Amino acid sequence: MLTRRSFAASAGIAAAIARMLPEMAYAQRALVQGDLPKDMVWLSANENPAGPPASSIRAMSEVLPSAWRYHYQEFRDFYDQLARSEDLSADRILVGAGSSEVLHAAVEAFTAPDRPFVCIHPTYEGPTEVARALGRTVIRVPLASNYGADVHKLAEAAEQSKAGVVYLCNPNNPTSAVTPKAEIAWLVNNLPAETILLIDEAYIHFGETPELETALVHVRQERNVVVTRTFSKIYGMAGLRAGFACARPDLIARLAPFRNNVISIVTVRAVLAAIAENQTLVPERRAALARTRRNLCAWLRERNVGYIPPNANFMMIDVGRDAREFVSRMPAMGVAVGRPFPPLDNMLRVTIGTESDMEKFREVFWKVYNG
Ligand SMILES: Cc1ncc(COP(=O)(O)O)c(C=O)c1O
């Protein structure tokens, strides 16, 4: 017989297993396993080969000998400096091990059995997977014709379902498309009073169009908006695991219990060094990435290969047939590319790496494209 206690225990074990496996799950989802070429070009996970800035590497080296301590007392200053870098006060941010952790916290804090999770489809799967693991109702609405969010459909779904969270990734992963600032503002003004708009800005620094604007303006106006950011992308620190959420202090207070302790002091020092130079680092990296992205777009256009106009450090290429063939064949030829993103079955998601990475990509892609 399944007693309440044994049910709770088994549910607890299932939840624990779900929490233990993400490393393996991510590796598996990337579909790149087995004997891999040593000089593999990694264009599968939207990482940034520019890596941590030199100042961050120096700062990390300096703190390593004292990494035996938690350094708890440094976190107040860390919060102050990080918040200031976005023109916020420290009570309006929450740091996590990557933005994954604070995204997960938001799903846990703001959805409930009667408060569903609403998102566009396809989009970044992390928050949806947490919602499913929690047994929440997940409602997915199709993309707009520009491959960004259809804000009217999102508002309608939120209204009908009494959503706890509407999740919107801008620019969207995997489409690299932007939801224009006016549409985000419309959504902020047209969601039910109890719904939280969770805006994932992991790739916001890579966009150049004036239509792309951070939703932090809505956080500063005290709206029901949580914005998440990460150091994994433009800052090139995916392996260091740092991200943060920005929101009104009362929303941050509801998120905080779902976090785990503090992040690594090595990561803290790397982040502090990076944000100290973000006024030059971010525009320089954005410009370099945009140059490489433009070159790839031009190369595709010359060959009449379609693509979704990109705004992030990855793009969707229309390969004209099931993209799974490229995903499975290219790694053996030295280039790892993104996984399938149904229903966009003919689209191949490719991370923009260095110029030489993309040279190799073009060579291998063209071989597979031509059979
Ligand atoms: C849109 C989006 N949000 C969040 C994440 C999570 O990244 P991290 O936990 O490294 O910040 C990713 C990872 O690729 C992503 O694509």
Q: Is residue 174 part of a domain?
A: yes
The model's confidence at residue 35, banded by pLDDT at 50, 70 and 90, is: confident
CA-to-CA distance for 257 and 278, rounded, in angstroms? Answer: 30
pLDDT of residue 182: 98
Would you say 127 and 104 are in contact if contact means Cβ atoms under 8 Å apart?
yes
Ligand 1 site, residue 124, Cβ cutoff 6 A? yes
Q: Is residue 24 part of a domain?
A: no
Q: Is residue 175 part of a domain?
A: yes
Measured from the Cα of 46, ligand 1's closest atom is 14
The verdict on 113 and 244 lying in the same domain is yes
Measured from the Cα of 241, ligand 1's closest atom is 10
CA-to-CA distance for 51 and 68, rounded, in angstroms? Answer: 25
Measured from the Cα of 232, ligand 1's closest atom is 10
67-87 tens-digit pLDDT: 999 999 999 999 999 999 999
Measured from the Cα of 97, ligand 1's closest atom is 9
Identify the CATH number of the domain in which residue 238 sits.
3.40.640.10
Site to probe by mutation for ligand 1, drawn from 48, 100, 313 as the one with most ligand atoms within 8 Å of Cβ, is 100
The verdict on 97 and 172 lying in the same domain is yes
Ligand 1 site, residue 202, Cβ cutoff 6 A? yes
The verdict on 285 and 271 lying in the same domain is no
CA-to-CA distance for 302 and 346, rounded, in angstroms? Answer: 19
pLDDT of residue 260: 87
Going from the Cα of 218 to the center of ligand 1, the distance in angstroms, rounded, reads: 21
The verdict on 61 and 38 lying in the same domain is no
Ligand 1 site, residue 98, Cβ cutoff 6 A? yes
The pairing of strands 196-200 and 225-230 is parallel
CA-to-CA distance for 195 and 20, rounded, in angstroms? Answer: 30
The pairing of strands 335-337 and 347-351 is unpaired
Helix (H), strand (E) at residue 300: helix 278-302
Name the domain count of the chain. Answer: 2
Measured from the Cα of 238, ligand 1's closest atom is 10
Nearest CA among 360, 327, 357, 352 for reference residue 342: 327
The verdict on 96 and 168 lying in the same domain is yes
Q: Is residue 20 part of a domain?
A: no
- Range 111-130 average pLDDT: 98
Is pLDDT above 60 for 9? no
Ligand 1 site, residue 238, Cβ cutoff 6 A? yes
Look over the chain and give the mean of its residue pLDDT values, rounded to a whole number.
92
Ligand 1 site, residue 175, Cβ cutoff 6 A? no
Is pLDDT above 70 for 15? no
- % the chain with pLDDT above 90: 88
R_g of the chain, CA atoms, integer Å = 21
The verdict on 58 and 170 lying in the same domain is yes
The residue out of 276, 304, 335 marking a domain boundary is 276
The verdict on 262 and 303 lying in the same domain is no
Q: Is residue 19 part of a domain?
A: no
- Range 198-211 average pLDDT: 98
The verdict on 100 and 242 lying in the same domain is yes
Q: What is the pTM of this model?
A: 0.92
The verdict on 262 and 321 lying in the same domain is no
Helical packing angle, 265-276 and 54-63, nearest 10°: 150
Going from the Cα of 102 to the center of ligand 1, the distance in angstroms, rounded, reads: 11
The residue out of 276, 301, 334 marking a domain boundary is 276
Domain range enclosing 315: 31-46+280-369
The verdict on 63 and 121 lying in the same domain is yes
Q: Is residue 26 part of a domain?
A: no
Going from the Cα of 305 to the center of ligand 1, the distance in angstroms, rounded, reads: 28
Q: Is residue 324 part of a domain?
A: yes
Looking up tokens 């790397």 gives 270
Nearest CA among 368, 28, 46 for reference residue 205: 46
Is pLDDT above 60 for 21? no
The residue out of 276, 297, 316 marking a domain boundary is 276
The verdict on 260 and 310 lying in the same domain is no
Ligand 1 site, residue 169, Cβ cutoff 6 A? yes
Would you say 166 and 196 are in contact if contact means Cβ atoms under 8 Å apart?
yes
Measured from the Cα of 99, ligand 1's closest atom is 11
The model's confidence at residue 287, banded by pLDDT at 50, 70 and 90, is: very high
pLDDT of residue 14: 42
Q: Is residue 314 part of a domain?
A: yes
Ligand 1 site, residue 44, Cβ cutoff 6 A? no
Identify the CATH number of the domain in which residue 36 sits.
3.90.1150.10
Site to probe by mutation for ligand 1, drawn from 43, 48, 95, 99 as the one with most ligand atoms within 8 Å of Cβ, is 99
- Range 193-220 average pLDDT: 98
Q: Under DSSP, is residue 118 helix (H, G, I), strand (E, B) or coil?
A: strand
The verdict on 79 and 200 lying in the same domain is yes
Measured from the Cα of 123, ligand 1's closest atom is 1
Would you say 245 and 255 are in contact if contact means Cβ atoms under 8 Å apart?
yes
Whose alpha carbon is nearest atom 3 of ligand 1? 202
